[in-house]
Structure 1
Amino acid sequence: MTLFIAEEKLIIYRKSQINVIPVNEIIFIEKSNKDTLIHTRNKNFSVNYTLKDLELKLPSNFIRCHRSFIINMNLIFEMRNLNENCYSIQFNNCKKDALFNKDNIRKISYLQCLKN
């Protein structure tokens, strides 16, 4: 499996197929057990890459906010405090949430302020 970004598209080459995912449609990326799932508006893709691999390829509006999540800062709808160490992020047009840890709240808040 080969991965690269060209013209704002994440291109994943597999043995039998090629997936082309517009980067602006990626809501978040999640590590779940041994799978890495790319969540988009229309579909989820399972890939054989680490979050670190993907983090290095994606543009700056994607941040690693938790050991299991990379989020698209442009699609955040709301952030909620779950407990003293963990927060939940809700996204526009997505039923599933992502998590981020307390240590990253300042980074996310700062980047959100820069965006606005």
Structure 2
Amino acid sequence: MPYNDIMYIEKNGHDVILHTTSNVFVERISLNEISKRLPVFFIRAHKSYIVNINKVLSLRINELFLPNNVTIPVSRSYLTNIKKKLLEIAR
């Protein structure tokens, strides 16, 4: 599966769930381990979520909005970095 197809990755217990626009895949790996393998356009948004920054439609206060009415929470500790990345791709 190409990385561009992944919208976001979420932690669920000992598994991570990779969400694409059309499918869901479950892998038994830690979120930290999978984050080391991802390209730079993936960014941590929350302790349980990694998001493909290219799929973000908007950011409001502490939530990212993705296609298919998906909303991802944003932790305060990751907010500054997310804003910076969004500004970089907007240019």
**TM-score scaled to structure 2, two decimals?**
0.90
Deviation, 1:80, is: 2.2
The structure in which a higher percent of residues are strand is 1
Q: Which region of structure 1 is more displaced relative to structure 2, 70-79 or 97-106?
A: 97-106
Aligned residues: 90
Q: Which of 47, 63, 77 is the aligned partner of 1:103?
A: 77
Following superposition, the deviation at residue 68 of structure 1 comes to 0.2
Partner of residue 63 from structure 2, selected from 88, 97, 101: 88
The 2-side partners of 1:99 and 1:69 are apart by 8
Listed one character per residue, the Cα deviations across residues 69-116 of structure 1 (whole Å, up to 9, x for unaligned) are 0000001012223xxxxx121112x23321110121111111111112
Report deviation, 1:34.
3.2
Q: Any gaps of 5 or more consecutive residues in structure 1?
A: 1-20, 82-86
Structure 2 counterpart of 1:99, one-letter code: P
CA contact (8 A) 2:14 2:29 kept: no
Q: Identify the residue that residue 43 of structure 1 maps to in structure 2.
A: 23
Mapped to 1, the partners of 2:58 and 2:25 lie a distance apart of 24
Amino acid at match of 1:102: R
4+ runs of 1 displaced by more than 4 Å? none
Q: Say which structure is richer in helix.
A: 2
Using CA pairs under 8 Å that are at least 6 residues apart, name the structure with larger relative contact order, 1 or 2.
2
Q: Secondary structure at the match of 1:59?
A: coil
Q: What root-mean-square deviation, in Å, do the aligned CA atoms of Structure 1 and Structure 2 show?
A: 1.2
CA distance in structure 1 between the partners assigned to 2:78 and 2:55 by the alignment: 17
TM-score by length of 1: 0.72
Residue 42 of structure 1 aligns to a residue in which SS?
Answer: coil
The one-letter code sitting in structure 1 at the alignment partner of 2:29 is: Y
- 1:113 paired to 2:87: yes
Q: For residue 30 of structure 1, give the secondary structure of its aligned residue in structure 2.
A: strand
Higher Cα Rg: structure 1 or 2?
1
Query: 3-state SS of the aligned residue for 1:97?
Result: strand
Q: Which amino acid aligns with 1:88?
A: E
